[in-house]
Amino acid sequence: MHSAVLDTQLFMKFPIHCEETGSDGIVYFKDVQPHPLTLDDWLVFSESKDLKIKIAGVVAGKPDWDKSFPPVGNRFQADFAVGPSLKNSCFALVKGGWVPIFYAFSKGNIIADRNLVSEIQARFSNGEMSSERQHNDFLDYICDKNCSCTIHTISYALESNERKLPSPEKIIEQHKTAFKTLSEALPHVKIWPKSDADLQYLLDIADKYRVYFSEGVRLLIKLAPLIVNSPARNRKVEKWKAMAAIAKAENISVNNIAFLACLSASSANQSFNPAQKLIKPKVGYTEEDAYNSMYDLFLIMLTNLLQTQAPDLKVTLVTRDKNLAIFWMGLTFADPLNPGEQMIGLHQKLLPVSVTELEELAIILGEGRVNPSWTVPPQPKY
């Protein structure tokens, strides 16, 4: 295990060639930050398997003869293409979109869901990857001893089989389980929370969202049976009104993300409907079904909260759930610096509506909740 006082980080390297002398060399980059990719980028990547990404960082080293990059120590920007030679089995969801997971390994704060904790346990032991594996996945490089990310147990700790957010005692117990599992698999990686104060912060978040979470579960139980089948185009508004009436009768705000997800599920094309696949609507929808779906949606709100509170910490939700990732990619959270603006934008693929339907939706959701000229807030530094 390396010393905790070392500011370790993974370096990116880029091969270069000098046409004049025929020399080959390597340029090393540090503090690399990618520009978040969008749902549109994902759709292009899904078709071509060639991922184009803009990055910025600092030149850490290069041959003396190179003139294509700035001097060592200076910042740079570049366009990169990531090919399909490495698998992208995990999605790294950042403020403003998503990035390949390896960008979170240097000084990133990774929220690891339960599936990712299990994946790490299966792949690594005492900081080493299973001898049966070869580096063929971005996730494999988390075992590099220069990896300086911090893994958060918060998702694992807050998940429950009790159909509600767990008690403080259960949260602490599950945090300790995840902490032990991750420490044995990757002893060189920092884990959060570690102090009692940070653990209390986790407990406070759970208390803050208990009512919101339980309301989302109740709402999904009521609404899921209504969205088993998408309504005909001329009945979409009628379905929205019925859903809003149910929320009002239950005294639950239509601003709950569960309602937003149901709106998307009832409107998106069946060939591309991540919200419906997250909710998994059916006749006879149970409380357990609703809990499982609400927890995924809750992770979205929790991640956005942590990203907003600590914009410089590179907070990233890492998940293998493709539908959760795609739904996240299609969301745009309003800039929290704009007073009174608590809106979430939806990509047209998630909520395809006509001008008339948008006007009706504004009435259903309430004045100020629908902005027909919604624009993406400024992209924060990642």
Q: What is the pLDDT of residue 6?
A: 35
Q: What is the pLDDT of residue 329?
A: 93
Residue 270: HSE in the Cβ half-sphere, 13 Å Cα cutoff = 8
Domain membership of residue 269 as a residue range: 206-365
Residue 193 lies in a domain: no
Instruction: Report the domain count for the chain.
Output: 1
Does an H or E element contain 9, and which?
none
Q: What is the pLDDT of residue 83?
A: 65
Which has more pLDDT, 141 or 367? 141
What's the rounded mean pLDDT across residues 288-295? 96
Q: Given pLDDT bands bounded at 50, 70 and 90, which one contains residue 342?
A: low
Q: Given pLDDT bands bounded at 50, 70 and 90, which one contains residue 84?
A: low
Q: What is the pLDDT of residue 176?
A: 95
Residue 230 lies in a domain: yes
Alpha carbon distance 345, 364 (integer Å): 16
Query: Does the pLDDT of residue 237 top 60, yes or no?
Result: yes
Q: Tally DSSP H helices, then E strands, for the chain.
A: 11, 14
CB 54 within 8 A of CB 19: no
Q: Given pLDDT bands bounded at 50, 70 and 90, which one contains residue 341?
A: very low
Alpha carbon distance 6, 363 (integer Å): 56
Q: What is the pLDDT of residue 337?
A: 55
Alpha carbon distance 123, 272 (integer Å): 32
Predicted TM-score (pTM) of the model is 0.87
What's the rounded mean pLDDT across residues 47-70? 87
Closest CA to 161 of 174, 179, 145, 178: 174
pLDDT in tens, 201-210: 999 999 999 9
Query: Does the pLDDT of residue 65 top 70, yes or no?
Result: yes
**What's at 209, amino acid-wise?**
Y
Residue 307 lies in a domain: yes
pLDDT in tens, 108-159: 899 998 889 999 999 999 999 987 777 778 888 899 888 889 999 999 999 9
Which long-range contacts link 83-89 to residues 24+ away (Cβ below 8 Å)? 83/49, 83/50, 83/51, 84/49, 84/50, 86/135, 86/136, 86/137, 86/138, 87/136, 87/137, 87/138, 88/137, 88/138, 89/119, 89/137, 89/138, 89/139, 89/320
Alpha carbon distance 362, 343 (integer Å): 12
pLDDT in tens, 265-278: 999 988 899 999 99
Token duo for residue 69: 């990059």
For the ranges 11-15, 187-191, 267-271, the maximum mean pLDDT occurs at 187-191
Q: Given pLDDT bands bounded at 50, 70 and 90, which one contains residue 19?
A: confident
Residue 380 lies in a domain: no
Residue 90 lies in a domain: no
Q: What is the pLDDT of residue 357?
A: 87
Q: Given pLDDT bands bounded at 50, 70 and 90, which one contains residue 3?
A: very low
What's the rounded mean pLDDT across residues 149-170? 93
**Alpha-carbon 376 to chain mean position:** 17
Query: Does the pLDDT of residue 2 top 50, yes or no?
Result: no
Mean pLDDT rounded to a whole number for the chain: 86
Alpha carbon distance 349, 135 (integer Å): 35
Does an H or E element contain 17, and which?
strand 12-17
Residue 41 lies in a domain: no
Residue 219 lies in a domain: yes
Cβ partners under 8 Å of residue 57, min gap 6: 12, 29, 30, 31, 32, 33, 75, 76
Residue 88 lies in a domain: no
Neighbours of 50 (CB within 10 A): 11
